Amino acid sequence: PHDGVGHFADWACSETGCVILDSSYEDCEYVEGMAEPIFKWTRFNVDTLTEQWPKVHEIRQKIDNMVEWLEENPIIHFRELLEALTAKAKSKRKKTAKARGQHYYDPTEHWCELDQIAFEEEEEDYDEEDGDGRLRRATAGDIEDALQF
């Protein structure tokens, strides 16, 4: 059950290696107060998300298992978790103190790699001057591209 702790820490620090878990609004083309970020249906986006999905599922499953285990008996299980973590930390503390270098926060380090519709593009593509603010209908080519994976 402790396996999920490390994955949760990686998720909280945006270091899972999975774009869907590591990205937030701050990492996307997003203007507060406007609509949600919009991602393009590009081959790159579909391939990236498809490739990473098994790892995303595994990480979330381990985190969910840990949460369920903790909720079964919060006091006893949390104590057990803390004891396991402190024992592990004591054994590694001396080794990592020498090996660990300085790490400074870089806001561009986790920039979302998926292709997005930029704010300017969104205004141009979805201009409501014609009274129709709906997204365009999917073409046969769009549907064919989406189904080929």
**Residue 66 buriedness (CB in 10 A; 0-12 / 13-18 / 19+):** buried
Amino acid 106: pLDDT: 65
Amino acid 26: pLDDT: 73
Smallest CA-to-CA distance from 119 within 45, 41, 33, 23 is with: 33
Residue type, 63: I
State phi, psi for 95 to the nearest 5 degrees. -65, -45
* Distance set, CA 92 to CA 6, 38, 98, 101 (Å): 15, 43, 11, 15
pLDDT string in tens for the chain (149-residue length): 788 999 999 999 889 999 999 887 777 776 677 777 778 888 998 999 999 999 999 999 999 999 999 999 999 999 999 998 888 777 666 565 555 555 665 656 667 788 787 766 655 555 444 444 444 555 556 666 666 65
Amino acid 135: pLDDT: 46
Angle, alpha carbons 14-18-24 (nearest 5°) = 50
Amino acid 4: pLDDT: 92
Amino acid 134: pLDDT: 44
